[in-house]
Amino acid sequence: MGSVTSSRGAALFGARDAVGAAGVAMAATFLAFGAAVREAGLPPGWALVACWAIYGMPGQLVLVQAASTGFVGGIAPAVMGAIAVNARFLPMAIAISRNRGGGAARLVFGFWPDKLGSGGACRAGWVLRRRHVG
């Protein structure tokens, strides 16, 4: 697990790490999701909010599929299905956030540079730990 000593280095490290296979795969996934949203007749803003607020493609696809059918079974089954396929967020959050501070900030920003200004290391925790968790 690499470490850098400044916030700028951490940003460059995260950007370099993001432009890789994971970035290509996620770009393809989001393109497919956008096409599915357009086919379902939902606005682009809905897709953007879903990607930002849910950030779990299986759950997003469950919602889009339910929306394309007009929520014939109601909203509750669609929401329950989306939550069920995204239930991995609970163990993922446990595995990612072990022994690390700034939980609320990490929930918002995705990573949290720890011990900045105290001579310690600064790590893009989400990017690095995602490799261990998936």
Which one of the spans 7-15, 59-67, 117-125 is the region binding another protein (CB under 8 A)? 59-67
Judged by CB under 8 A, does residue 89 bind another protein?
yes
Looking at the Cβ atoms of 8 and 38, the one nearer to another protein is 38
Q: Which of 15, 18, 26, 32 binds another protein (CB under 8 A)?
A: 32
**How far is 39 from 101, CA to CA, in rounded Å?**
42
Looking at the Cβ atoms of 45 and 117, the one nearer to another protein is 45
* DSSP line for 64-118: HHHHHTTSTT-HHHHHHHHHHHTTTHHHHHHHHTTT-S-HHHHHHHS---TTTTT
Q: What are phi and psi of 83, to 5 degrees?
A: -70, -40
Rounded CA Rg of the chain: 18
Q: Which of 88, 109, 115, 120 binds another protein (CB under 8 A)?
A: 88
Q: Which of 11, 67, 116, 121 binds another protein (CB under 8 A)?
A: 67
* Closest residue by Cα to residue 30 from 16, 17, 43, 48: 48
Helix (H, G, I), strand (E, B) or coil at 4: strand
Residues in contact with another protein by CB under 8 A are 20-22, 24-25, 32, 41-46, 48-50, 53-56, 58-59, 63, 66-67, 70-71, 75, 78-79, 82-83, 86-99, 103-104, 106-107, 132-134
